[in-house]
């Protein structure tokens, strides 16, 4: 199975992509599993999961949660987790739901993790070693995973459909469940595939995210 464990929809403040668009594009590029991880939100993931029923793809409910030290990815959760807690408290709340904890882009500018990394490594289930969208940091993340023999994941961090499929984790098996996939990650059975976007692709992508922020802020203001 080809799995992407990090992407966003317009339930994130910096995306304009609908959950349905992301699911359709994931299928189009041959992904078999997609985790929707909107910023501090799970409604996009729920909507994508409902839309994907009967389609050849597994959607994992997730969220990218902003903590005081940096972002934490939560997979296989059931309820939204509030932002701006400490990283440790956030991890505790994820695990209380039976969720899976990933440290995303720990060294990437400007979203690097600013807390005590060694302390956090004891608490997480995996580290994201290849992010297709962020600037720098992937090699350092890979080196850290190797140094401490950590389980690892891969994510496009796509905020728009065009980045889906650039990178993915290939996991042996067909029609695996969420729990089976996460167990295989813990056992380090996945194979890293694809490569990150070019520097200029990233520049354009982040420009689109900034435009999305402005547009979404205007929409929110009009609703108020």
Residue 109: per-residue pLDDT: 80
Residue 222: per-residue pLDDT: 64
106 closest CA partner among 116, 93, 98, 94:
116
**Nearest-angstrom CA–CA distance, 154 and 104:** 9
Provide the Cα torsion 85, 88, 91, 92; round to 10°.
-100
> Running DSSP on this structure, what letter comes out for residue 9?
-
Q: Residue 155, CB half-sphere, CA atoms under 13 Å: how many?
A: 31
What's the domain count of the chain?
1
Task: Find out whether 16 and 10 touch, Cβ atoms under 8 Å.
Answer: yes
Give the C-alpha distances (Å, rounded to integers) separating 97 from 39, 48, 70, 78.
18, 20, 21, 7
Domain containing 14 — which CATH number? 3.20.20.140
Residue 86, pLDDT > 90, answer yes
Looking at the DSSP bridge assignments, the partners of residue 35 are 60
Residue 224: per-residue pLDDT: 43
In terms of residue numbers, what domain contains 71? 2-223
Phi-psi category of 76—alpha, beta or left, where left has phi over 0 and alpha has psi -120 to 50? left
Strand 100-103 with 126-131, pairing: parallel
User: Collapsing DSSP states into helix, strand and coil, what is residue 86?
Assistant: coil
Residue 111's pLDDT band (cuts 50, 70, 90):
confident
The residue written with tokens 């995306």 in the block is 15
pLDDT tens-digit map of 183-224: 999 999 999 999 999 999 999 999 999 999 999 999 876 654
**Nearest-angstrom CA–CA distance, 222 and 22:** 26
Judge if pTM exceeds 0.85.
yes
pLDDT tens-digit map of 30-56: 999 999 999 999 999 999 999 999 999
């Amino acid at each position: 199975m080809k799995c992407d464990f990090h992407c966003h929809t317009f339930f994130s403040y910096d995306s304009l992509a609908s959950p349905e668009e992301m699911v359709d594009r994931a299928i189009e590029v041959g992904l078999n599993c997609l985790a929707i991880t909107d910023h501090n939100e799970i409604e996009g993931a729920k909507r994508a999961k409902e839309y994907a029923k009967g389609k050849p793809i597994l959607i994992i409910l997730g969220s990218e949660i902003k903590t005081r030290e940096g972002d934490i990815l939560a997979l296989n959760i059931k309820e939204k987790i509030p932002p701006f807690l400490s990283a440790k408290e956030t991890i505790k709340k994820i695990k209380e739901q039976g969720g899976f904890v990933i440290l995303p882009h720990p060294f990437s500018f400007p979203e690097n993790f600013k807390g005590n990394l060694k302390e956090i490594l004891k608490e997480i289930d995996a580290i994201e070693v290849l992010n297709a969208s962020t600037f720098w940091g992937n090699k350092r993340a890979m080196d850290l995973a190797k140094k401490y023999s950590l389980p690892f994941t891969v994510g496009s961090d796509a905020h728009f459909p065009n980045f889906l499929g650039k990178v993915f984790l290939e996991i042996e098996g067909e029609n695996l469940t969420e729990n089976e996939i996460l167990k295989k990650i813990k056992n380090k059975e996945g194979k890293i595939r694809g490569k990150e976007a070019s520097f200029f692709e990233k520049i354009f992508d982040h420009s689109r995210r900034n435009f999305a922020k402005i547009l979404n802020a205007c929409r929110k203001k009009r609703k108020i």
